[in-house]
Amino acid sequence: MKEEPMPTTPAASVLFVCVHNAGRSQMAAGFLTHLAGDRVEVRSAGSLPADQVNPAAVEAMREAGVDISGQTPKVLTPEAVQASDYVVTMGCGDACPVFPGTTYLDWALEDPAGQGVEAVRPIRDEIRRRVESLIREIDAKREV
């Protein structure tokens, strides 16, 4: 009798939050999806979502081999926060509701809004470094 493969459930779910959900949180979500694949459930949202993703962020991510051009800013909901193991805020202040059992991280990153791609590149690179560190943390917890 052939054994059915075990369904793979994500090791964790991560919600990235910034004010407009147009730059930092979109880049972070793009990197986490790109680097962790289906090992991690990824969401992003904003407390005051913009109309579109920052074009300079889209271009900077394209240069890094990650396409976020199809993303749209989404509004932050308490349900999205509650459904997440990790909530990573990026300059959204106290807009995020707090739920027990959720790990909250605050990443102080410059806001790329209104800046050209040259100014967005170092922000993108710092986000990638932090996302890679977060993946290591998630993987370490999974192995325990």
Q: Which active-site residues does the annotation give? A: 18, 92, 96
- Classify residue 126 by burial, with Cβ atoms within 10 Å: 0-12, 13-18, 19+: middle
Tokens 């949180």 -> residue: 25
Going by C-beta distance under 8 Å and a sequence separation of 6 or more, which residues neighbour residue 126?
109
Tokens 């102080």 -> residue: 108
- Classify residue 71 by burial, with Cβ atoms within 10 Å: 0-12, 13-18, 19+: buried
Which structure tokens are listed for 63? 């240069």
Rounded Cα distance, 77 and 47, in Å: 8
